[in-house]
Structure 1
Amino acid sequence: MDDPVAQTAVGPVAIVAIDQHEDIPLVRSDVAYWMLPASGRMIATLTSIPLVRRLVVNAAEKRIPGLWASMLCRKRYINDQIRGAVRAGIEAVVVLGAGLDDCAYRLPWLSNIVVYEVDLPENISRKRAVLQRLYGEVPDHVRLVPIDFETGDLNQVLTEHGHRNEDTTAFVWEAVTQYLTETAVRRTLGTLAAAASGSRLVFTYVRRDFLDGTELYGGEALYREYVVKRRLWGFGMDPDEVAEFLSEYGWRLTDDAGPREFAERYLHPTCRELTASEVERSACAEKI
């Protein structure tokens, strides 16, 4: 994979696969392991040994404190929000920047709902190959939608694949916004402004004060790698400004979660001795 952004698709699903070896996984998945390339599956298998698993987690935490818990908690958060949306009667799910995410294949409440997985063409090609290896074909309820978020027309490609704006939809935008320019973020939200009333938007964002170097929250290595060296991350928001930012496009913020909320909802109840990072937060909004 030559695109540096496309290369980031493996890490989150690898962490989910490794977490299956814990007594109480934060995100239960019987698919994540099979989404990985052969080298990733080998590592995930080795981490079934508790000592190896501790070494892998500790190495990740030493380099980027809070990363492990943050990735697991944000996925659990998204799962919970999707389930709430399904119970509320949403008619479709659109995953923006789907990568190797496996929610369409492991969440039983999505089996009868069309899921549109939208991502860079390179990631969509990889996802198609993985699904063909696992299922022989792309499952009937999934639509794979290639797009470049910086230049493509999101509404056009979704329409071409069968999505209708009048369908109440749960949009999932996980770990994508920081890779985009503000122009691309606003263009995407401009498209989502046409969503039906009652639709949901579940997304993550990186704090602006981290990106400008004002406060690194213990993520110095993350800052050097993604902001300074590779210049992959460029867009962020202040938590106090998220509600107003979304309201410009007809969305009402309903929840905004960080390490404190993740600890209360997920880590403490499962007796996990992990701490999530403040660098990235997860939020949910409803279309009004």
Structure 2
Amino acid sequence: MPTGRFLGLRTRVFDDFLTGAASHGCRQVVVLGAGLDTRAYRLPWPDGTTVFEIDHREVLDFKQSVLDAQDAVPRAGRVALAADLRQDWTGPLTAAGFDPARPTVWLAEGLVPYLPPAAERELLRIIDDHSAPGSMLGCEVKHGVDPLAQRNFPIYAVVRERTGIDLLALFSPEPRPRTAAELTARGWTSDVYTPFDFTRRHGRGPLPTLDDALAANRWILATRALAR
């Protein structure tokens, strides 16, 4: 299924991004909308790394029950923080030990496309306000979503038929922010990729097809300038 190849590739790309950021000195990792992310357990983190996972309490509790059943042990300091990203989450994050004066690598994997444009801009502002020089951000954005014209695109149709979830109904129809440009205006350097760029790089993953929903996806890997 193309969705499986896509998700596998995306996981690999952001794994590499996070471990690269850690090798460049980021010892704080903040996973926004962490869901079932287990990178605190899977990746070879340097000593002194703390991974903050932010999501709803129910999600974090379910994940913890699965991890406990497997006697899983994290390979970094791990802080699971129950918070709603639509409300104040930086206060609880700081109270949990996050230090905005230290370089941080932020991950918003599979989150931003589901936010309204105003919420995406606010998220970028908050990340920028809490990022020391040398901080990094990896995120996925999606442009050119047209719910009416794209309803029968294969990926959307398959997910709808197999799970009953209408992904297109979850995307805001409003024009999306120019995320990379807005990061640049805030002093970040951004590289923007399509999933197919990494398919060619790794020799595996999704390939472009007719009526391809993935053609609208962009992966942004950004770094905050060393001097403000």
State the shift of 1:245 in Å.
Answer: 2.5
- Seen in structure 2, the aligned counterparts of structure 1 residues 112 and 213 have a Cα distance that, compared at 3 Å, is farther
CA contact (8 A) 1:211 1:233 kept: no
State the shift of 1:111 in Å.
Answer: 5.9
- Seen in structure 2, the aligned counterparts of structure 1 residues 283 and 214 have a Cα distance that, compared at 3 Å, is farther
Where does the alignment leave 5 or more consecutive residues of structure 1 unmatched? 1-60
Does residue 243 of structure 1 match 2:180?
yes
Does residue 95 of structure 1 match 2:27?
no
Higher RCO structure, 1 or 2 (CA under 8 Å, sep 6+): 2
2:75, 2:19 → 1: CA distance?
A: 20
CA contact (8 A) 2:145 2:171 kept: no
1:144-198 deviation digits (Å, cap 9, x = unpaired)? 0111112x21211210111010110000100011222223222221211121011
Q: State percent identity of aligned pairs.
A: 27
2:189, 2:173 → 1: CA distance?
A: 21
* 2:61 alignment partner AA: S
Does residue 225 of structure 1 match 2:166?
yes
Secondary structure in 2 aligned to 1:77? helix
- Seen in structure 2, the aligned counterparts of structure 1 residues 83 and 259 have a Cα distance that, compared at 3 Å, is same
* 1:174 alignment partner AA: E
TM-score normalised by structure 2 residue count: 0.81
- Seen in structure 2, the aligned counterparts of structure 1 residues 237 and 174 have a Cα distance that, compared at 3 Å, is farther
Does residue 68 of structure 1 match 2:4?
yes
1:76, 1:237 → 2: CA distance?
A: 29
Name the structure 2 match of 1:172: 107
- Seen in structure 2, the aligned counterparts of structure 1 residues 180 and 235 have a Cα distance that, compared at 3 Å, is farther
1:75, 1:237 → 2: CA distance?
A: 27
2:16, 2:75 → 1: CA distance?
A: 23
CA contact (8 A) 2:28 2:104 kept: yes
Higher helix share: 1
TM-score normalised by structure 1 residue count: 0.65
Where does the alignment leave 5 or more consecutive residues of structure 2 unmatched? 209-213
